Structure 1
Amino acid sequence: MGIDPNYRTNRPVVKQENGVKVYGPIDPPKILGIHGTIVGVDFDLCIADGSCITACPVDVFHWTDTPGHPASEKKADPVNEQACIFCMACVNVCPVAAIDVKPP
């Protein structure tokens, strides 16, 4: 299915974490929401294969620990989303379509 491309308007911002907005709902450790506005990562879909981290030429993503999450216990967090150059490499390599990129 993949990330909801309309999450920015369909979901409330419930907090900020690592400098990025988190869109709910959240109920840790099993429901973690979508992290990021320019570069959004659905933490509930992310399986932490690392392809986005490898593909990104400007280091948008960093690993963050998510102990107890059923899909993976770490996630690619878009902590440097402001650096995004909109090349879409991360979107194209994500095996579970957990990433959405939209210019501000």
Structure 2
Amino acid sequence: MPIDPNFETNRERVGEENGVTVWGPVDPPEQLGIHGTHVAVDYDICIADGACLEDCPVDVFTWVDSPGHPESEIKVEPTHEDQCIDCMLCVDVCPVDAIDVDPGRAGRT
């Protein structure tokens, strides 16, 4: 199942990690929630193939550890989502539809 494009309405903001907003539910290590707002990554379905990180022309993503998560032990975090130019390359290359970019959410946290 792809990332919920309405996560801001359907999920609760539960905190922040590395300056990135986290949307729950969160119950580590199995359930890590959605990270980011303008550029959002569903950590629970991310398989960390790295395509988004490699293809992003403005280096929005960085690797972070997610030890014990059933899908992958690392994730791509939208650490620099404020740099996003809304090109949607990350959305297009994600094989599991774990990323959502919404220009309407830019600047919101």
In 1, the alpha carbon distance for the partners of 2:25 and 2:99 equals 17
* Residue number in structure 2 paired with 1:74: 74
Percent identity between matched residues is 64
Return 5+ residue gaps in structure 2 as ranges. Answer: none
* Residue number in structure 1 paired with 2:19: 19
Q: Name the SS for the 2:82 alignment partner.
A: helix
Q: Aligned-pair RMSD on alpha carbons?
A: 0.5
In 1, the alpha carbon distance for the partners of 2:57 and 2:42 equals 21
Is 2:61 the partner of 1:61? yes
In 2, the alpha carbon distance for the partners of 1:58 and 1:92 equals 16
In 1, the alpha carbon distance for the partners of 2:44 and 2:5 equals 15
CA deviations 1:60-88 (Å, max 9, x no partner) are 00000000000000000000000000000
In 1, the alpha carbon distance for the partners of 2:36 and 2:14 equals 12
Is 2:85 the partner of 1:85? yes
CA deviations 1:30-87 (Å, max 9, x no partner) are 0000000000000000000000001100000000000000000000000000000000
In 2, the alpha carbon distance for the partners of 1:71 and 1:93 equals 18
In 1, the alpha carbon distance for the partners of 2:85 and 2:100 equals 13
User: TM-score, length-normalised on structure 2?
Assistant: 0.94
Cα shift at 1:9: 1.3
Cα shift at 1:8: 1.2
* Residue number in structure 1 paired with 2:6: 6
* Residue number in structure 1 paired with 2:45: 45
AA in 1 matched with 2:101: V
